[in-house]
Amino acid sequence: MLGLPDGIGACLFDLDGVLTKTAAVHARAWAQTFADYGFTDDDYNEYVDGKPREDGVRDFLASRGVHPGEAEIHAIGERKNALVQQLIRDEGVEAYDGSRAYLEAAERAGLRRAVVSSSHNAAAVLDAAGLSRFIEVRVDGHDTGLRGKPAPDTFLEAARRLEHEPARCAVFEDALAGVEAGRAGGFGCVVGVDRVGHRDALLAHGADVVVEDLAELL
């Protein structure tokens, strides 16, 4: 059904880069935040994409041999989030057409649907993109006490709220940390979404299949 193995009853979607065209917004905000460190697209994919904001700050700076205290890490993360919010206000949020079509098809097919995102802005992004009505459960940056990706905790929590075992859930992710989380959680299918030309890396980190757009699965 919808390009998924038999027995799948729920879809767990990452947000930025999978459903909405906001991954590029986050990348721009990170690049501005770390302009003094020569932040690159590879740094985005390796150290911050898909992770909770403060984990991304910590991991990127560690790659440069910098180890600030927790208060500074928090402050840097807040500055980055303010940049994201400003960019969203200035430019709006657009959903991928293929992702909207896939959500509509999943709803018609009776598949349960959750968004799993490290972002604190997930609800606002879903509303702005006109996707909220398709989403039954949201696990995001406001859900404290859960380890962030690449740990599987947030996906496992979404599966629990949808009352489905992980083996009956499909994970949809564009981030390397996200596909690692899907594989670590023992989910029935991990779909890598390649928007930036890192198909091989998504497969190496745990994706079962990689598509450039969810419409390919319809």
CA distances from 8 to 110, 138, 169 (A): 11, 19, 5
Query: Across the chain, where does the E strand assignment appear?
Result: 10-13, 112-116, 137-139, 169-173, 189-193, 209-211
Q: How far apart are CA 7 and CA 49, in angstroms?
A: 30
3-state secondary structure of 35: helix
Residue 11 φ/ψ, nearest 5 degrees: -120, 130
User: Is residue 97 within 8 Å of residue 91, measured between CB atoms?
Assistant: no
The catalytic residues are 14, 16
138 forms bridges with which residues in the sheet?
A: 115
